[in-house]
Amino acid sequence: MASRITAHAIAHILAEAGYTDATTGAAWTPGYRPVQASPRTVRIWHDGPDEQDRLDRYAETLRDAGYTVIPERTARKRPSLRITHP
């Protein structure tokens, strides 16, 4: 069973790796946008250019940190990452 994770914890890992959070700051900047999907799941989108390339980089960073990362691409929706912790 997956353990609980928070969007804040995921954002912290990405920030420590040097990525920009699109949800912070006074003005919009390109970057990741973490959303708590459930107590055990966080979803991440990239707001800005090079969306798929950035998602791939985020996935690599999070996998290196021990998280399970599943790329998602549903019809008529932007690509995202689903993150869980084993």
CATH code for the domain of 38: 3.90.1070
Per the structure, how many domains does the chain have? 1
Q: Confirm whether 2 is domain-assigned.
A: no
> Which among 49, 60, 52, 48 has a CA at the least distance from the CA of 22?
48
Q: Which residue has the tokens 């999907």?
A: 37
Is the pLDDT confidence value at 46 over 60? yes
- Return d(Cα 47, Cα 30) in angstroms, integer: 5
Q: Confirm whether 1 is domain-assigned.
A: no
CA separation, residue 20 to residues 5, 25, 42 (Å): 20, 10, 17
Question: What pLDDT, on the 0 to 100 scale, is given for residue 86?
Answer: 75
Whole domain around residue 25: which residue ranges?
7-84
Q: Confirm whether 64 is domain-assigned.
A: yes
Number of other CB atoms surrounding residue 10 within 10 Å: 25
Q: Confirm whether 45 is domain-assigned.
A: yes
This prediction's pTM: 0.92
Is the pLDDT confidence value at 1 over 60? no
